Structure formats: structure tokens, C-alpha cells
């Protein structure tokens, strides 16, 4: 199933959705997809004139492929401009993912601060792509393309604090408008940046993730490349903390992300 097929499925039936193993990430389902599906269920409960401003995501446990998942939503409060919403992905009677979202309408303001400039990167045609190799790379990578420009690939012993390059969906088959659900997948597609510091394979996963969206969203297509850069800020005791940003090809800021990751090495 394509990414867009799964989004359509959760919009029509948020209860009991089974996600195929082709979206796997080790023994779990790709976290960016789970966050995107939960977001879509939450989006349906909020007025259309209140775009999402931020999401705080906790991956409580792995989501098993081919086992029904339900995406539950509680609207905690609806103020004059802001809606606070809680989403729970449930599987086998257990919470597997929690998402707290803040949706807010625009309002007049005297404060306006432009984003810092995007980093310079080589053109995507000149960058190394991380290939999908069945049984070696995560299964979900058949659906997303990443091309490295800064830092190293996982398990290459590259100790740079920074990692990034270009990312987009692949295999969607047609030009579709990018929304926040797509952005969640594009940002979370990148492996934990700490994995590039290792010289041999080891497990790593996201524990908590916060992401903030620049609204209104840019008019982007699923065929467009986006620019991603993450910086490791600190790591010790099996945990790492990193901050990242996503930009359009022409350097316009799309989203800001922060993750706490666990590394089993």
C-alpha cells in the first residue's frame, strides 16, 4: 500500500486498520507512518481553519505489522483560537503511541522573525542514496528516498554532529499535495544520527519526538525533494538528543523537530 492509500484508509476507518509489513522498521512499524496516521485521525476532529502548530509524540511500544491498530482521539479543549487534542494508537488493548497536538488559527501580530538561512547542500543528483535492500535496510525504505549530503550513513564510524541531505516519497506514482502527514514521514524517515557514529550495526529507536510546523504550509508536491539537517546536541548512557529542520528545495523552512533516541550500543 502506498502512503496515500494508508492516509485514505485511516480517514475513512480509524478503527482496526492493519498496516502491511512492507512498512516495517525492524520488529515494529515505521514510526513516522504511525504518527502520520494518528495525526490524520486528530485532524478530522478539529475545525479546518485551525492548522496544526505542534505535535508531541511518545512511542510507548512497537506497533506490530498486519495486526489491527485503532487511532483514538479526545479533544481536550477548544478555545477561541486553539484546540488541544490527544491521540492514542491502540493495539491489542494497549497504548502503543501517544500524540498531543496543538491546533491554532492565525491571528494578527506585531512580531515577525524570519527563519535562519537553510544550509548549502550538493544537488540531490550528486548525493549518495541510501538504497532499499530487502532484509538489510528497513522495509519502509522502499517507500522513501534519502540522499546523503552531510555526515555519514549509519554504522560507518562517521562522528560528525551533523547529518542530512535530501528526502522525498518514492513510488507514489503521481503528483500529490504534501500535507503535515507527509512531513511527519519525511522527517522521521532519517535514521537516528547517532547510528553513523557506530562501526557495526546496532538497534536504535525514537523515544520521544516533538515537531513544529510553519504555517501556512508551502505548496509542495510528493515529487519534490526536501532538504533535511539534524544536529546531535548531546549523547550519553544510551540516549541521544538531536534537533533537526526540514526545508523546501529553495530553502524555505517547513518544520522544526527534536527527538530523544535510545541506542543499544
Q: What is the rounded CA–CA span in Å between residue 137 and residue 256?
A: 26
Query: pLDDT tens digits for the chain (265 residues)?
Result: 899 999 999 999 999 999 999 999 988 999 999 999 999 999 999 999 999 999 999 999 999 999 999 999 999 999 999 999 999 999 999 999 999 999 999 999 999 999 999 999 999 999 999 888 888 889 999 999 999 999 999 999 999 999 999 999 986 556 789 999 999 999 999 999 999 999 999 988 999 999 999 999 999 999 999 999 999 999 999 999 999 999 999 999 999 999 999 998 8
Q: What is the rounded CA–CA span in Å between residue 209 and residue 227?
A: 19
State residue 138 phi and psi, 5-degree precision: -55, 145
Domains located in the chain, CATH noted? 1-105 (3.10.129.10), 116-202+213-265 (2.40.160.210)
Q: How far is CA 84 from the centre of its chain?
A: 20
pTM of the predicted protein model: 0.95
Say if CB 39 and CB 184 are below 8 A apart: yes
Amino acid at each position: 500500500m502506498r502512503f496515500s492509500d494508508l492516509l485514505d484508509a485511516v480517514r475513512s476507518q480509524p478503527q482496526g486498520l492493519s498496516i502491511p509489513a512492507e512498512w516495517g522498521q525492524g520488529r515494529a512499524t515505521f514510526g513516522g507512518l504511525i504518527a502520520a496516521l494518528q495525526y490524520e485521525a486528530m485532524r478530522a476532529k478539529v475545525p479546518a481553519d485551525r492548522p496544526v502548530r505542534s505535535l508531541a509524540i511518545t512511542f510507548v511500544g512497537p506497533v506490530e505489522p498486519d495486526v489491527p491498530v485503532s487511532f483514538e482521539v479526545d479533544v481536550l479543549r477548544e478555545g477561541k483560537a486553539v484546540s488541544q487534542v490527544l491521540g492514542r494508537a491502540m493495539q491489542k488493548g494497549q497504548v502503543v503511541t501517544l500524540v498531543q497536538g496543538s491546533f491554532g488559527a492565525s491571528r494578527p501580530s506585531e512580531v515577525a522573525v524570519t527563519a535562519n538561512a537553510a544550509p548549502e547542500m550538493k544537488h540531490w543528483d550528486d548525493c549518495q542514496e541510501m538504497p532499499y535492500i530487502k532484509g538489510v535496510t528497513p522495509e519502509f525504505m522502499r517507500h522513501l528516498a534519502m540522499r546523503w549530503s552531510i555526515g555519514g550513513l549509519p554504522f560507518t564510524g562517521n562522528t560528525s554532529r551533523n547529518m542530512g541531505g535530501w528526502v522525498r516519497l518514492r513510488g507514489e506514482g503521481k503528483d500529490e499535495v504534501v500535507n503535515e502527514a507527509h512531513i511527519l514521514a519525511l522527517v522521521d524517515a532519517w535514521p537516528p544520527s547517532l547510528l553513523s557514529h557506530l562501526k557495526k550495526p546496532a538497534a536504535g529507536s525514537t523515544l520521544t519526538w516533538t515537531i513544529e510546523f510553519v504555517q501556512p504550509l508551502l505548496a509542495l508536491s510528493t515529487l519534490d525533494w526536501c532538504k533535511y539537517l539534524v544536529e546531535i546536541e548531546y549523547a550519553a548512557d544510551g540516549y541521544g538528543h538531536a534537533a533537526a529542520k526540514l526545508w523546501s528545495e529553495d530553502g524555505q523552512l517547513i518544520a522544526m523537530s527534536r527527538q530523544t533516541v535510545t541506542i543499544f550500543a
